[in-house]
Structure 1
Amino acid sequence: MPRKNLTANRRTFTHRVRYAARYPERVPRFLARAGRDAWLRLRHPGHVDYYRAVMRHDTAASPEAAVGSKSHERWLALGALQFDYLTGHGLRPGDHMLEIGCGNLRGGWRFIEYLDAGHYYGLDISPDILFAAQETLVRRRLQGKLPRLTPVRDLTLAFLPEAHFRVVHAHSVFSHSPIEVIEECLAHVGRVLRPDGWFDFTFDRTEREEHHVLREDFYYRTETLVALAEKHGFTAEFMDDWEALPHGQSKLRIRPRAPRPGPAAGRNGSAGPGEVAGQPAV
Protein backbone atom coordinates (compact mmCIF):
# COMPACT_ATOMS: atom_id res chain seq x y z
CA MET A 1 0.00 0.00 0.00
CA PRO A 2 1.52 3.38 -0.95
CA ARG A 3 2.20 6.00 1.71
CA LYS A 4 -0.63 8.48 2.08
CA ASN A 5 -0.05 12.05 0.94
CA LEU A 6 1.65 13.72 3.92
CA THR A 7 0.88 17.28 2.86
CA ALA A 8 -2.77 17.09 1.80
CA ASN A 9 -5.59 18.55 3.91
CA ARG A 10 -8.47 16.24 3.09
CA ARG A 11 -11.04 18.54 4.68
CA THR A 12 -10.59 21.37 2.19
CA PHE A 13 -13.08 21.89 -0.60
CA THR A 14 -10.29 22.00 -3.18
CA HIS A 15 -8.92 18.62 -2.14
CA ARG A 16 -12.37 17.05 -2.24
CA VAL A 17 -13.11 18.37 -5.72
CA ARG A 18 -9.78 17.12 -7.03
CA TYR A 19 -10.25 13.76 -5.35
CA ALA A 20 -13.75 13.36 -6.79
CA ALA A 21 -12.46 14.19 -10.27
CA ARG A 22 -9.70 11.62 -9.93
CA TYR A 23 -11.83 8.88 -8.36
CA PRO A 24 -15.45 9.45 -9.46
CA GLU A 25 -16.34 5.85 -8.63
CA ARG A 26 -15.68 6.57 -4.92
CA VAL A 27 -18.02 9.55 -4.67
CA PRO A 28 -21.23 7.56 -3.93
CA ARG A 29 -19.57 5.72 -1.05
CA PHE A 30 -18.24 8.95 0.44
CA LEU A 31 -21.66 10.59 0.20
CA ALA A 32 -23.17 7.60 1.97
CA ARG A 33 -20.55 7.90 4.71
CA ALA A 34 -21.21 11.63 5.04
CA GLY A 35 -24.93 11.01 5.44
CA ARG A 36 -24.31 8.35 8.07
CA ASP A 37 -21.88 10.67 9.84
CA ALA A 38 -24.47 13.45 10.04
CA TRP A 39 -27.10 11.08 11.43
CA LEU A 40 -24.79 9.49 13.99
CA ARG A 41 -23.50 12.87 15.15
CA LEU A 42 -27.03 13.73 16.24
CA ARG A 43 -27.55 10.44 18.05
CA HIS A 44 -24.08 10.00 19.56
CA PRO A 45 -22.30 13.26 20.46
CA GLY A 46 -19.52 11.37 22.27
CA HIS A 47 -16.85 9.96 19.98
CA VAL A 48 -16.64 6.45 21.45
CA ASP A 49 -20.40 5.94 21.19
CA TYR A 50 -20.29 7.38 17.69
CA TYR A 51 -17.54 5.06 16.50
CA ARG A 52 -19.15 2.07 18.22
CA ALA A 53 -22.21 2.75 16.05
CA VAL A 54 -19.99 3.00 12.95
CA MET A 55 -18.49 -0.38 13.76
CA ARG A 56 -21.91 -1.92 14.34
CA HIS A 57 -22.99 -0.83 10.88
CA ASP A 58 -19.76 -1.88 9.14
CA THR A 59 -19.45 -5.21 10.95
CA ALA A 60 -22.96 -6.18 9.89
CA ALA A 61 -21.84 -5.78 6.28
CA SER A 62 -18.37 -7.37 6.60
CA PRO A 63 -16.21 -7.83 9.73
CA GLU A 64 -13.05 -7.82 7.63
CA ALA A 65 -13.99 -4.63 5.83
CA ALA A 66 -14.97 -3.10 9.18
CA VAL A 67 -11.33 -3.31 10.30
CA GLY A 68 -10.11 -1.79 7.05
CA SER A 69 -9.42 -4.84 4.86
CA LYS A 70 -11.01 -4.76 1.42
CA SER A 71 -10.41 -8.48 0.81
CA HIS A 72 -9.66 -11.61 2.81
CA GLU A 73 -6.20 -11.70 1.27
CA ARG A 74 -5.52 -8.17 2.49
CA TRP A 75 -6.89 -9.07 5.94
CA LEU A 76 -4.43 -11.95 6.14
CA ALA A 77 -1.54 -9.87 4.81
CA LEU A 78 -2.01 -7.00 7.29
CA GLY A 79 -2.30 -9.43 10.17
CA ALA A 80 0.90 -11.16 9.11
CA LEU A 81 2.64 -7.78 8.79
CA GLN A 82 1.79 -6.85 12.38
CA PHE A 83 2.82 -10.25 13.70
CA ASP A 84 6.11 -10.43 11.83
CA TYR A 85 7.02 -6.91 12.93
CA LEU A 86 6.45 -7.43 16.65
CA THR A 87 8.06 -10.87 16.78
CA GLY A 88 10.97 -9.43 14.82
CA HIS A 89 11.29 -6.74 17.50
CA GLY A 90 11.42 -9.18 20.38
CA LEU A 91 7.90 -10.30 21.30
CA ARG A 92 8.36 -13.67 23.02
CA PRO A 93 5.88 -16.52 23.65
CA GLY A 94 6.10 -15.95 27.40
CA ASP A 95 5.21 -12.26 27.18
CA HIS A 96 1.82 -10.92 28.19
CA MET A 97 0.37 -8.81 25.38
CA LEU A 98 -2.49 -6.31 25.35
CA GLU A 99 -4.05 -5.41 22.02
CA ILE A 100 -6.17 -2.24 22.07
CA GLY A 101 -8.70 -2.29 19.25
CA CYS A 102 -8.24 -6.00 18.54
CA GLY A 103 -11.16 -6.05 16.08
CA ASN A 104 -11.94 -9.48 14.66
CA LEU A 105 -8.37 -10.63 15.37
CA ARG A 106 -6.81 -9.71 12.03
CA GLY A 107 -3.41 -9.87 13.71
CA GLY A 108 -4.68 -11.17 17.02
CA TRP A 109 -5.19 -14.80 16.03
CA ARG A 110 -1.53 -15.04 15.09
CA PHE A 111 -0.47 -13.56 18.43
CA ILE A 112 -2.80 -15.91 20.30
CA GLU A 113 -1.37 -18.91 18.45
CA TYR A 114 2.20 -17.78 19.21
CA LEU A 115 1.89 -16.70 22.85
CA ASP A 116 1.59 -18.99 25.82
CA ALA A 117 -1.97 -19.84 26.84
CA GLY A 118 -3.70 -17.00 28.64
CA HIS A 119 -1.11 -14.40 27.63
CA TYR A 120 -3.19 -12.48 25.06
CA TYR A 121 -5.71 -9.82 26.10
CA GLY A 122 -7.78 -8.06 23.43
CA LEU A 123 -9.95 -4.98 23.96
CA ASP A 124 -12.40 -3.25 21.67
CA ILE A 125 -15.13 -0.64 22.01
CA SER A 126 -17.35 -2.66 19.66
CA PRO A 127 -19.16 -5.73 21.02
CA ASP A 128 -20.18 -6.55 17.45
CA ILE A 129 -16.60 -6.90 16.21
CA LEU A 130 -15.76 -9.00 19.28
CA PHE A 131 -18.51 -11.44 18.29
CA ALA A 132 -16.69 -11.73 14.98
CA ALA A 133 -13.43 -12.21 16.92
CA GLN A 134 -14.96 -15.19 18.70
CA GLU A 135 -15.80 -16.68 15.31
CA THR A 136 -12.18 -16.22 14.24
CA LEU A 137 -11.06 -18.14 17.33
CA VAL A 138 -13.37 -21.01 16.46
CA ARG A 139 -12.26 -21.14 12.82
CA ARG A 140 -8.61 -21.17 13.89
CA ARG A 141 -9.25 -23.69 16.71
CA LEU A 142 -7.56 -21.48 19.28
CA GLN A 143 -9.98 -21.94 22.16
CA GLY A 144 -7.34 -23.82 24.15
CA LYS A 145 -5.06 -20.76 24.19
CA LEU A 146 -7.56 -19.06 26.53
CA PRO A 147 -7.40 -15.52 25.15
CA ARG A 148 -9.38 -12.77 26.84
CA LEU A 149 -11.61 -10.59 24.66
CA THR A 150 -13.26 -7.70 26.47
CA PRO A 151 -15.55 -4.85 25.35
CA VAL A 152 -14.70 -1.47 26.90
CA ARG A 153 -16.45 1.90 27.23
CA ASP A 154 -13.21 3.91 27.33
CA LEU A 155 -9.42 3.53 27.40
CA THR A 156 -8.76 4.11 31.10
CA LEU A 157 -7.84 0.41 31.48
CA ALA A 158 -8.77 0.58 35.17
CA PHE A 159 -9.77 -3.09 35.41
CA LEU A 160 -6.39 -4.40 34.18
CA PRO A 161 -3.51 -5.36 36.52
CA GLU A 162 -0.61 -3.03 37.18
CA ALA A 163 2.74 -3.56 35.41
CA HIS A 164 1.47 -6.74 33.73
CA PHE A 165 1.98 -6.37 29.97
CA ARG A 166 5.35 -6.34 28.26
CA VAL A 167 3.84 -5.43 24.90
CA VAL A 168 0.82 -3.22 24.20
CA HIS A 169 -0.28 -2.85 20.60
CA ALA A 170 -2.83 -0.66 18.81
CA HIS A 171 -3.02 -0.89 15.03
CA SER A 172 -5.27 1.61 13.23
CA VAL A 173 -6.88 2.84 16.45
CA PHE A 174 -5.50 6.35 16.86
CA SER A 175 -6.12 6.96 13.16
CA HIS A 176 -9.81 6.93 14.12
CA SER A 177 -9.48 8.83 17.41
CA PRO A 178 -9.66 12.51 18.38
CA ILE A 179 -6.80 13.79 20.47
CA GLU A 180 -8.72 13.55 23.78
CA VAL A 181 -9.22 9.79 23.30
CA ILE A 182 -5.52 9.34 22.52
CA GLU A 183 -4.56 11.31 25.61
CA GLU A 184 -6.90 9.26 27.79
CA CYS A 185 -5.11 6.13 26.64
CA LEU A 186 -1.62 7.57 27.13
CA ALA A 187 -2.56 8.84 30.59
CA HIS A 188 -3.42 5.32 31.75
CA VAL A 189 -1.50 2.77 29.69
CA GLY A 190 1.71 3.33 31.65
CA ARG A 191 0.10 1.79 34.73
CA VAL A 192 -0.41 -1.58 33.01
CA LEU A 193 2.97 -1.65 31.22
CA ARG A 194 5.94 -3.41 32.74
CA PRO A 195 8.94 -1.13 33.29
CA ASP A 196 10.71 -2.96 30.43
CA GLY A 197 7.65 -2.93 28.20
CA TRP A 198 6.64 -0.91 25.18
CA PHE A 199 3.50 0.35 23.45
CA ASP A 200 3.38 0.39 19.64
CA PHE A 201 0.63 2.35 17.90
CA THR A 202 0.03 3.40 14.33
CA PHE A 203 -1.42 6.72 13.19
CA ASP A 204 -2.24 8.59 10.00
CA ARG A 205 0.56 11.11 9.62
CA THR A 206 0.49 14.59 8.17
CA GLU A 207 3.38 17.02 7.88
CA ARG A 208 1.14 20.07 7.67
CA GLU A 209 -2.17 21.04 9.26
CA GLU A 210 -3.75 18.40 11.46
CA HIS A 211 -7.28 17.55 10.38
CA HIS A 212 -9.95 14.90 10.25
CA VAL A 213 -12.44 13.64 7.68
CA LEU A 214 -15.95 13.24 9.05
CA ARG A 215 -15.40 11.79 12.54
CA GLU A 216 -13.74 8.64 11.26
CA ASP A 217 -10.25 9.52 10.00
CA PHE A 218 -7.77 11.68 11.94
CA TYR A 219 -4.39 12.95 10.75
CA TYR A 220 -1.67 14.01 13.22
CA ARG A 221 1.85 15.39 13.10
CA THR A 222 4.45 13.14 14.66
CA GLU A 223 5.61 15.85 17.04
CA THR A 224 2.09 16.25 18.46
CA LEU A 225 1.93 12.61 19.55
CA VAL A 226 5.55 12.56 20.74
CA ALA A 227 4.87 15.58 22.96
CA LEU A 228 1.72 13.96 24.33
CA ALA A 229 3.61 10.76 25.13
CA GLU A 230 6.36 12.71 26.89
CA LYS A 231 3.75 14.62 28.89
CA HIS A 232 2.57 11.31 30.33
CA GLY A 233 5.97 9.94 31.26
CA PHE A 234 7.13 8.13 28.11
CA THR A 235 9.98 8.33 25.69
CA ALA A 236 8.86 8.05 22.06
CA GLU A 237 10.58 6.59 19.00
CA PHE A 238 9.43 6.98 15.40
CA MET A 239 9.76 3.53 13.82
CA ASP A 240 11.60 4.13 10.57
CA ASP A 241 11.74 0.45 9.65
CA TRP A 242 7.94 0.31 9.72
CA GLU A 243 7.77 3.04 7.06
CA ALA A 244 9.25 0.74 4.43
CA LEU A 245 6.52 -1.89 4.84
CA PRO A 246 3.40 -2.15 2.60
CA HIS A 247 0.73 -0.28 4.55
CA GLY A 248 -0.58 3.26 4.83
CA GLN A 249 0.20 4.42 8.37
CA SER A 250 3.16 5.45 10.51
CA LYS A 251 4.16 3.96 13.86
CA LEU A 252 5.43 5.25 17.20
CA ARG A 253 6.86 3.13 19.98
CA ILE A 254 6.70 4.55 23.48
CA ARG A 255 8.38 3.25 26.61
CA PRO A 256 8.07 4.23 30.28
CA ARG A 257 10.66 6.84 31.09
CA ALA A 258 13.36 5.39 33.35
CA PRO A 259 12.93 6.56 36.98
CA ARG A 260 15.50 9.00 38.22
CA PRO A 261 18.12 7.39 40.48
CA GLY A 262 17.94 8.22 44.15
CA PRO A 263 20.62 10.18 46.01
CA ALA A 264 24.01 8.51 46.08
CA ALA A 265 24.70 6.39 49.14
CA GLY A 266 26.96 7.84 51.80
CA ARG A 267 30.57 6.81 52.26
CA ASN A 268 31.25 3.18 53.18
CA GLY A 269 27.92 2.22 51.56
CA SER A 270 25.77 3.74 54.32
CA ALA A 271 22.32 4.86 53.33
CA GLY A 272 21.76 8.55 52.75
CA PRO A 273 18.93 10.56 54.33
CA GLY A 274 15.52 9.02 53.64
CA GLU A 275 17.01 5.85 52.12
CA VAL A 276 16.94 2.19 53.00
CA ALA A 277 20.30 0.54 52.48
CA GLY A 278 20.50 -0.89 48.97
CA GLN A 279 17.35 0.96 47.76
CA PRO A 280 16.80 4.45 46.33
CA ALA A 281 14.89 7.01 48.35
CA VAL A 282 11.29 7.59 47.28
Structure 2
Amino acid sequence: MQDPPDPRLLKNRSRLGHKLRYALAHPRRVGPHLRRAARNARLRLRHRGDHVAFYRAVMASDTARSPEAAVGGVPSHARWLAIGRMQYDYLVAHGLRPGDRMLEIGCGNLRAGWRFIDHLEPGHYYGIDISPDILVEAKKTVVRYGLQDKLPYLTPVDDLTLDFLPDAWFTVVHAHSVFSHSPLEVVAECMANVGRVLAPGGFFDFTFDRTEGHEHQVLGEDFYYRTETLVRLAAKHGLAAHFMDDWERLPHGQSKLRLTHHPVVSH
Protein backbone atom coordinates (compact mmCIF):
# COMPACT_ATOMS: atom_id res chain seq x y z
CA MET A 1 0.00 0.00 0.00
CA GLN A 2 1.32 3.43 -0.95
CA ASP A 3 1.99 5.84 1.92
CA PRO A 4 -0.31 8.89 2.05
CA PRO A 5 1.35 12.15 0.95
CA ASP A 6 3.03 14.33 3.56
CA PRO A 7 0.44 16.97 4.62
CA ARG A 8 3.12 19.65 4.22
CA LEU A 9 3.28 18.84 0.50
CA LEU A 10 -0.45 19.49 0.08
CA LYS A 11 -0.33 23.09 1.32
CA ASN A 12 -1.24 25.84 -1.11
CA ARG A 13 0.63 28.86 0.24
CA SER A 14 -1.07 31.18 -2.22
CA ARG A 15 -4.54 30.69 -0.71
CA LEU A 16 -6.00 33.22 1.68
CA GLY A 17 -6.87 30.56 4.26
CA HIS A 18 -3.27 29.40 4.48
CA LYS A 19 -2.03 32.98 4.78
CA LEU A 20 -4.45 33.73 7.62
CA ARG A 21 -3.50 30.58 9.52
CA TYR A 22 0.18 31.34 9.04
CA ALA A 23 -0.28 34.93 10.21
CA LEU A 24 -2.04 33.77 13.38
CA ALA A 25 0.72 31.27 14.09
CA HIS A 26 3.58 33.69 13.26
CA PRO A 27 2.37 37.25 13.99
CA ARG A 28 5.89 38.73 13.98
CA ARG A 29 6.36 37.70 10.36
CA VAL A 30 3.28 39.55 9.10
CA GLY A 31 4.97 42.96 8.88
CA PRO A 32 8.05 41.74 6.94
CA HIS A 33 5.81 39.72 4.63
CA LEU A 34 3.62 42.73 3.85
CA ARG A 35 6.65 44.91 3.20
CA ARG A 36 8.08 42.27 0.88
CA ALA A 37 4.74 41.93 -0.92
CA ALA A 38 4.58 45.70 -1.48
CA ARG A 39 8.15 45.84 -2.75
CA ASN A 40 7.60 42.91 -5.11
CA ALA A 41 4.41 44.48 -6.45
CA ARG A 42 6.35 47.63 -7.33
CA LEU A 43 9.13 45.62 -8.98
CA ARG A 44 6.68 43.49 -10.98
CA LEU A 45 5.05 46.64 -12.35
CA ARG A 46 8.46 48.02 -13.30
CA HIS A 47 9.54 44.78 -15.03
CA ARG A 48 6.16 43.60 -16.26
CA GLY A 49 6.38 40.32 -18.18
CA ASP A 50 10.13 39.85 -17.57
CA HIS A 51 10.66 37.52 -14.61
CA VAL A 52 14.45 37.54 -14.90
CA ALA A 53 14.59 41.33 -14.71
CA PHE A 54 12.12 41.27 -11.81
CA TYR A 55 14.12 38.74 -9.85
CA ARG A 56 17.38 40.54 -10.61
CA ALA A 57 15.85 43.60 -8.95
CA VAL A 58 14.73 41.46 -6.00
CA MET A 59 18.29 40.21 -5.59
CA ALA A 60 19.71 43.72 -5.80
CA SER A 61 17.37 44.82 -3.02
CA ASP A 62 18.09 41.79 -0.84
CA THR A 63 21.85 41.92 -1.41
CA ALA A 64 21.95 45.59 -0.39
CA ARG A 65 20.46 44.61 2.99
CA SER A 66 22.44 41.39 3.56
CA PRO A 67 24.46 39.47 0.96
CA GLU A 68 24.20 36.23 2.93
CA ALA A 69 20.48 36.54 3.66
CA ALA A 70 19.90 37.29 -0.03
CA VAL A 71 20.91 33.70 -0.80
CA GLY A 72 18.15 31.49 0.55
CA GLY A 73 17.13 33.89 3.29
CA VAL A 74 19.63 32.40 5.73
CA PRO A 75 19.47 34.21 9.08
CA SER A 76 23.12 33.83 10.15
CA HIS A 77 26.64 33.23 8.89
CA ALA A 78 26.64 29.85 10.64
CA ARG A 79 23.53 28.81 8.70
CA TRP A 80 25.04 30.13 5.46
CA LEU A 81 28.05 27.91 6.06
CA ALA A 82 25.93 24.92 7.05
CA ILE A 83 23.72 25.02 3.94
CA GLY A 84 26.77 25.37 1.71
CA ARG A 85 28.48 22.48 3.48
CA MET A 86 25.38 20.31 3.07
CA GLN A 87 25.31 20.91 -0.69
CA TYR A 88 29.02 20.20 -0.98
CA ASP A 89 29.03 17.03 1.11
CA TYR A 90 26.06 15.64 -0.78
CA LEU A 91 27.52 16.29 -4.20
CA VAL A 92 30.93 14.87 -3.30
CA ALA A 93 29.23 11.77 -1.89
CA HIS A 94 27.27 11.47 -5.16
CA GLY A 95 30.04 11.71 -7.67
CA LEU A 96 31.78 15.12 -7.75
CA ARG A 97 35.49 14.52 -8.41
CA PRO A 98 38.35 17.06 -8.55
CA GLY A 99 38.73 16.49 -12.29
CA ASP A 100 35.09 17.33 -13.05
CA ARG A 101 34.22 20.48 -14.97
CA MET A 102 31.37 22.07 -13.03
CA LEU A 103 28.78 24.65 -14.00
CA GLU A 104 26.82 26.13 -11.11
CA ILE A 105 23.66 27.90 -12.24
CA GLY A 106 22.65 30.58 -9.74
CA CYS A 107 25.97 30.46 -7.91
CA GLY A 108 25.05 33.45 -5.74
CA ASN A 109 27.75 34.57 -3.34
CA LEU A 110 29.36 31.09 -3.45
CA ARG A 111 27.64 29.70 -0.37
CA ALA A 112 28.54 26.22 -1.63
CA GLY A 113 30.62 27.40 -4.57
CA TRP A 114 33.74 28.26 -2.59
CA ARG A 115 33.90 24.66 -1.39
CA PHE A 116 33.41 23.38 -4.95
CA ILE A 117 36.16 25.71 -6.19
CA ASP A 118 38.53 24.45 -3.50
CA HIS A 119 37.70 20.81 -4.34
CA LEU A 120 38.06 21.10 -8.12
CA GLU A 121 41.17 21.48 -10.22
CA PRO A 122 42.07 25.08 -11.25
CA GLY A 123 39.80 26.50 -13.93
CA HIS A 124 37.17 23.78 -13.52
CA TYR A 125 34.48 25.84 -11.78
CA TYR A 126 32.08 28.07 -13.75
CA GLY A 127 29.50 30.06 -11.81
CA ILE A 128 26.72 32.05 -13.46
CA ASP A 129 24.03 34.25 -11.94
CA ILE A 130 21.46 36.77 -13.16
CA SER A 131 22.47 39.18 -10.37
CA PRO A 132 25.63 41.27 -10.88
CA ASP A 133 25.27 42.46 -7.28
CA ILE A 134 25.55 38.96 -5.83
CA LEU A 135 28.49 38.16 -8.13
CA VAL A 136 30.40 41.08 -6.61
CA GLU A 137 29.88 39.31 -3.28
CA ALA A 138 31.00 36.04 -4.89
CA LYS A 139 34.28 37.69 -5.86
CA LYS A 140 34.73 38.77 -2.24
CA THR A 141 34.14 35.16 -1.14
CA VAL A 142 36.92 33.98 -3.47
CA VAL A 143 39.27 36.50 -1.86
CA ARG A 144 38.13 35.67 1.69
CA TYR A 145 38.99 32.00 1.24
CA GLY A 146 42.18 32.59 -0.76
CA LEU A 147 40.99 30.76 -3.86
CA GLN A 148 42.44 33.03 -6.52
CA ASP A 149 44.85 30.33 -7.75
CA LYS A 150 41.86 28.09 -8.52
CA LEU A 151 40.87 30.50 -11.33
CA PRO A 152 37.08 30.27 -10.97
CA TYR A 153 34.93 31.78 -13.74
CA LEU A 154 32.10 34.02 -12.52
CA THR A 155 29.78 35.37 -15.18
CA PRO A 156 26.54 37.42 -15.10
CA VAL A 157 23.81 36.23 -17.47
CA ASP A 158 20.43 37.60 -18.52
CA ASP A 159 18.85 34.26 -19.37
CA LEU A 160 19.43 30.50 -19.12
CA THR A 161 20.10 29.76 -22.79
CA LEU A 162 23.75 29.04 -21.87
CA ASP A 163 24.55 30.15 -25.41
CA PHE A 164 28.08 31.35 -24.60
CA LEU A 165 29.17 27.96 -23.23
CA PRO A 166 30.70 25.10 -25.27
CA ASP A 167 28.96 21.89 -26.30
CA ALA A 168 29.33 18.74 -24.17
CA TRP A 169 31.81 20.37 -21.79
CA PHE A 170 30.47 20.17 -18.24
CA THR A 171 30.49 16.84 -16.42
CA VAL A 172 28.50 18.29 -13.50
CA VAL A 173 25.84 21.00 -13.60
CA HIS A 174 24.32 22.16 -10.30
CA ALA A 175 21.48 24.53 -9.39
CA HIS A 176 20.41 24.96 -5.78
CA SER A 177 17.33 27.10 -5.04
CA VAL A 178 17.10 28.33 -8.62
CA PHE A 179 13.97 26.63 -9.93
CA SER A 180 12.27 27.33 -6.60
CA HIS A 181 12.34 30.98 -7.72
CA SER A 182 11.55 30.40 -11.39
CA PRO A 183 8.30 30.23 -13.38
CA LEU A 184 7.95 27.20 -15.62
CA GLU A 185 9.03 29.03 -18.77
CA VAL A 186 12.41 29.81 -17.18
CA VAL A 187 12.80 26.19 -16.02
CA ALA A 188 11.92 25.05 -19.55
CA GLU A 189 14.50 27.40 -21.08
CA CYS A 190 17.20 25.91 -18.89
CA MET A 191 16.20 22.31 -19.63
CA ALA A 192 16.05 23.05 -23.35
CA ASN A 193 19.70 24.11 -23.29
CA VAL A 194 21.47 22.29 -20.49
CA GLY A 195 21.64 19.03 -22.45
CA ARG A 196 23.82 20.72 -25.06
CA VAL A 197 26.52 21.76 -22.58
CA LEU A 198 26.33 18.54 -20.54
CA ALA A 199 29.09 16.08 -21.37
CA PRO A 200 28.29 12.41 -22.10
CA GLY A 201 27.96 10.62 -18.76
CA GLY A 202 27.50 13.92 -16.91
CA PHE A 203 24.61 14.92 -14.67
CA PHE A 204 22.55 17.97 -13.75
CA ASP A 205 21.34 18.18 -10.14
CA PHE A 206 18.78 20.79 -9.13
CA THR A 207 16.52 21.44 -6.17
CA PHE A 208 12.91 22.57 -6.29
CA ASP A 209 10.05 23.34 -3.93
CA ARG A 210 7.79 20.31 -4.21
CA THR A 211 4.04 20.12 -3.88
CA GLU A 212 1.75 17.13 -4.21
CA GLY A 213 -1.26 19.44 -4.48
CA HIS A 214 -1.91 22.36 -6.82
CA GLU A 215 1.15 24.02 -8.31
CA HIS A 216 1.34 27.62 -7.17
CA GLN A 217 3.58 30.61 -6.48
CA VAL A 218 3.91 33.19 -3.72
CA LEU A 219 4.82 36.86 -4.28
CA GLY A 220 6.20 36.03 -7.73
CA GLU A 221 9.28 34.66 -5.96
CA ASP A 222 8.57 31.16 -4.66
CA PHE A 223 7.29 28.49 -7.06
CA TYR A 224 5.98 25.05 -6.08
CA TYR A 225 5.98 22.22 -8.63
CA ARG A 226 4.83 18.63 -8.76
CA THR A 227 7.68 16.21 -9.41
CA GLU A 228 5.96 14.74 -12.46
CA THR A 229 5.73 18.19 -14.09
CA LEU A 230 9.52 18.56 -14.03
CA VAL A 231 10.12 14.94 -15.02
CA ARG A 232 7.88 15.37 -18.07
CA LEU A 233 9.57 18.64 -18.98
CA ALA A 234 12.99 17.01 -18.78
CA ALA A 235 11.82 14.13 -21.00
CA LYS A 236 10.51 16.63 -23.55
CA HIS A 237 14.07 17.90 -23.89
CA GLY A 238 15.69 14.47 -24.09
CA LEU A 239 16.77 14.13 -20.46
CA ALA A 240 16.07 11.33 -17.99
CA ALA A 241 15.15 12.33 -14.42
CA HIS A 242 15.92 10.49 -11.19
CA PHE A 243 14.40 11.58 -7.86
CA MET A 244 17.11 11.77 -5.20
CA ASP A 245 15.36 10.14 -2.25
CA ASP A 246 18.23 10.44 0.22
CA TRP A 247 18.30 14.23 -0.22
CA GLU A 248 14.85 14.31 1.40
CA ARG A 249 16.35 13.33 4.76
CA LEU A 250 18.55 16.43 4.97
CA PRO A 251 17.43 19.65 6.75
CA HIS A 252 16.73 21.97 3.83
CA GLY A 253 13.03 21.82 2.86
CA GLN A 254 13.48 21.21 -0.86
CA SER A 255 13.54 18.18 -3.16
CA LYS A 256 16.16 17.24 -5.72
CA LEU A 257 16.18 15.72 -9.20
CA ARG A 258 19.17 14.48 -11.18
CA LEU A 259 18.97 14.75 -14.98
CA THR A 260 21.15 12.79 -17.39
CA HIS A 261 21.21 12.09 -21.09
CA HIS A 262 19.17 9.05 -22.04
CA PRO A 263 21.54 6.09 -22.53
CA VAL A 264 22.36 5.29 -26.12
CA VAL A 265 20.90 1.93 -27.07
CA SER A 266 23.10 -0.06 -29.45
CA HIS A 267 21.56 -2.46 -31.96
Report SS of the residue matched to 2:57: helix
Asked whether the equivalents of residues 118 and 146 of structure 1 are also in contact (C-alpha less than 8 Å), the reply is yes
1:61 to 48, 65, 68: 65
TM-score (norm 2): 0.96
Q: Distance between the aligned counterparts of 1:106 and 1:216, measured in 2? A: 20
Residue 109 (structure 1) aligned with residue 134 (structure 2): no
**Residues 1-282 of structure 1: matches in 2 within 5 Å?**
5-45=8-48, 46-68=50-72, 69-261=74-266, 264=267
Asked whether the equivalents of residues 117 and 146 of structure 1 are also in contact (C-alpha less than 8 Å), the reply is yes
Q: Distance between the aligned counterparts of 2:7 and 2:103, measured in 1? A: 28
Q: How many pairs align?
A: 260
* Residue identity opposite 1:149 in structure 2: L
Q: Distance between the aligned counterparts of 2:36 and 2:148, measured in 1? A: 36
Report SS of the residue matched to 2:173: strand
Shift in Å, 1:260 = 3.9
Q: Distance between the aligned counterparts of 2:17 and 2:202, measured in 1? A: 44
Report SS of the residue matched to 1:65: coil
Cα RMSD for the two superposed structures: 1.0
TM-score (norm 1): 0.91
Q: Distance between the aligned counterparts of 1:103 and 1:4, measured in 2? A: 31
Q: Based on CA coordinates, which of the two structures has the bigger radius of gyration?
A: 1
Shift in Å, 1:196 = 0.3
Displaced runs of 4 or more, over 6 A: none
* Residue identity opposite 2:90 in structure 1: Y
Name stretches of at least 5 consecutive residues in structure 1 with no aligned partner: 265-282
Shift in Å, 1:4 = 9.0
Q: Cα deviation per residue 1:189-208 (whole Å; 9 max; x = unaligned)? A: 00000110000000000000
Name stretches of at least 5 consecutive residues in structure 2 with no aligned partner: 1-5
Asked whether the equivalents of residues 80 and 107 of structure 1 are also in contact (C-alpha less than 8 Å), the reply is yes
Q: Distance between the aligned counterparts of 1:70 and 1:184, measured in 2? A: 31
Q: Cα deviation per residue 1:132-170 (whole Å; 9 max; x = unaligned)? A: 000001100001100000000000001001100000000
Report SS of the residue matched to 2:191: helix
Asked whether the equivalents of residues 4 and 248 of structure 1 are also in contact (C-alpha less than 8 Å), the reply is no
Q: Distance between the aligned counterparts of 2:173 and 2:44, measured in 1? A: 31
Report SS of the residue matched to 1:5: helix
Q: Distance between the aligned counterparts of 2:218 and 2:235, measured in 1? A: 27
Shift in Å, 1:259 = 3.0
Shift in Å, 1:258 = 1.9
Report SS of the residue matched to 1:63: coil
